[in-house]
Structure 1
Amino acid sequence: MARLPHRKYFLPLESNPAVFDQLMYELGVSSKLSFCDVLSIDAQEILKSIPRPVHAFVLVFPTSADYESLRLEKSIGKPAYDGSGEQEDVIWFKQTIGNACGLYGLLHAVANGKARCCIGENTILGRLLKDCTSRAPDDRALILENSSELEAAHTSAAVKGDTAPPDNAEDEVDFHYVAFVRSLKNGHLYEMDGDNWGPFDLGVSLGDDEDLLTESVLEVVRAFIRRNENDKGGFGLMALVEGR
């Protein structure tokens, strides 16, 4: 099922921790945070090697007609999401920039939970969050669209990585990013996708001393992967962690 055309397009980001780190640091996030690949969500020896705490997961996956149908099904019967400021348990960004789902996944990961404390106040992202947080989703989206600093930082990162970006930013990309984050307000786990109706509370509550590398969260990620498996290729998972 085709998505609506966007007003603006960015080159897609490669699912690569070094690329995401470059963009994150240029936007103003402290280098105490970094992204790392999660090579398995079942092998305990691999999970034990991941630095703690884990503040967020960013998942890239092959899109399909089934996924698009499920995405739209989630919004049926719901009024337009209009959360802002103190009304929001998590800050959500509506995606209005084509092929920029990696950027939105990064923004959702670093702007929520304890990771948000690592964003410098007088930085690109610090200023954007100050302008965006109290705004409704449509106004928030325009702020991101109109930020030349955000676009320049994204472009610089998008041309890095192990694979060449497409020649045309408007070329269709068959992969999509979502983030899984913890709310600082209620401790719940949320699925964050700028193409969805809004943030989705996944019904998992985490204690104050728990990060996202817990079995309850991993099972949510496993279930998401099982629902969206198809013949287009594999999944990639990155964790936003403290340390390297």
Structure 2
Amino acid sequence: MARKQFVPLESDPLIFTSLLHKLGGSDKLSLVDVLSLDDPDLLAFIPRPVLGLIFIFPGTEAALANIAAQESKSAPYTGAGEAEDIVWFRQTIGNACGLYALLHVAANGTAREIAMEPDSTLDRLFHEAIPLDPEGRARVLESSTELEAAHSASAQQGQSTPPPADVETPFHYIAFSKSYKSGHMYEPAGYVKGPRDLGLVCGHDEDLLSDNARKVLKEYVEREGEGMGDISWGFNLMALVSN
């Protein structure tokens, strides 16, 4: 069977917020741009606490080499259900890494407590998928016509003309989430073997833009941008916040 392909999403917080709400996400939640990891004046505009982050970066040769190096040291993830520290969805739909990043920030941390309206698409998907292993979760997402319809509508909202679904996008989306159990900061990217623990344990009152978390994020950006010259080019960061 041919791999399912979606039209990629434009990296606009209004589009991601719209998709979240189309899926039945709470109207208390929205995504906003993070314009700086250093400037206190710009950081002050972001509502706190930050419940999740979505990072967009260009899939350069150096970035893909970093991913491959990390993957060579990793074992496939097999977690399932309430026993796992972080909820992870394996990406099996092409050009949908933005969707998977959105699902990861909504399914983890304190966002999960307010992320969805009862009996919404998101509520039903999470209740069906989260108890399953990664393969079972992937099948639930692949077979959801509601998920596909909501994503398709959101992909048409961008300011630029969206590419055909069978054209691979040169940009990648990943999520950063905080475990509501352990406080560990994770990178649950769907296109790798499993979620990656970033080695930071956030305190109960620390969110994902705390001083410690921003240090981890800046190191991540520098690593992914190695060999690119101006590492600010092509990178974007959005925060999931509660209004």
The TM-score normalised by the length of structure 2 is 0.94
Q: Identify the residue that residue 165 of structure 1 maps to in structure 2.
A: 162
Q: Identify the residue that residue 237 of structure 1 maps to in structure 2.
A: 237
CA shift at 1:27, angstroms?
A: 0.8
Gap runs ≥5 in structure 2: none
SS of residue matched to 2:110: helix
* 1:175-205 deviation per Cα after TM superposition (whole angstroms, max 9, x unaligned): 0001111000101100111011101111111
Structure 1 stretches of at least 4 aligned residues deviating more than 3 Å after TM superposition: none
- 1:93 is aligned to 2:86: no
1:21 and 1:211 mapped to 2: Cα distance?
A: 20
SS of residue matched to 1:97: coil
Against the structure 1 CA distance between its residues 143 and 44, is the aligned structure 2 distance closer, same or farther, given a 3 Å change threshold? same
2:21 and 2:195 mapped to 1: Cα distance?
A: 25
- 1:111 is aligned to 2:115: no
- 1:198 is aligned to 2:194: yes
2:125 aligns with one of 123, 128, 139: 128
- 1:47 is aligned to 2:58: no
Aligned positions, number = 238
Against the structure 1 CA distance between its residues 195 and 149, is the aligned structure 2 distance closer, same or farther, given a 3 Å change threshold? same
1:241 and 1:234 mapped to 2: Cα distance?
A: 23
**Is the Cα–Cα contact under 8 Å of residues 66 and 224 in structure 2 kept in the other structure?**
no
**Is the Cα–Cα contact under 8 Å of residues 74 and 197 in structure 1 kept in the other structure?**
no
Query: What letter corresponds to residue 133 of structure 1 in structure 2?
Result: I
The TM-score normalised by the length of structure 1 is 0.93
Q: Which moved more, 1:64-73 or 1:194-203?
A: 64-73
- 1:9 is aligned to 2:5: yes
- 1:24 is aligned to 2:36: no
* 1:103-125 deviation per Cα after TM superposition (whole angstroms, max 9, x unaligned): 01100011100111122230101
Gap runs ≥5 in structure 1: none
2:216 and 2:74 mapped to 1: Cα distance?
A: 23
**Is the Cα–Cα contact under 8 Å of residues 54 and 238 in structure 2 kept in the other structure?**
yes
Against the structure 1 CA distance between its residues 84 and 163, is the aligned structure 2 distance closer, same or farther, given a 3 Å change threshold? same
1:82 and 1:130 mapped to 2: Cα distance?
A: 18
Q: CA RMSD in A?
A: 1.6
SS of residue matched to 1:9: coil
Q: Identify the residue that residue 143 of structure 2 maps to in structure 1.
A: 146
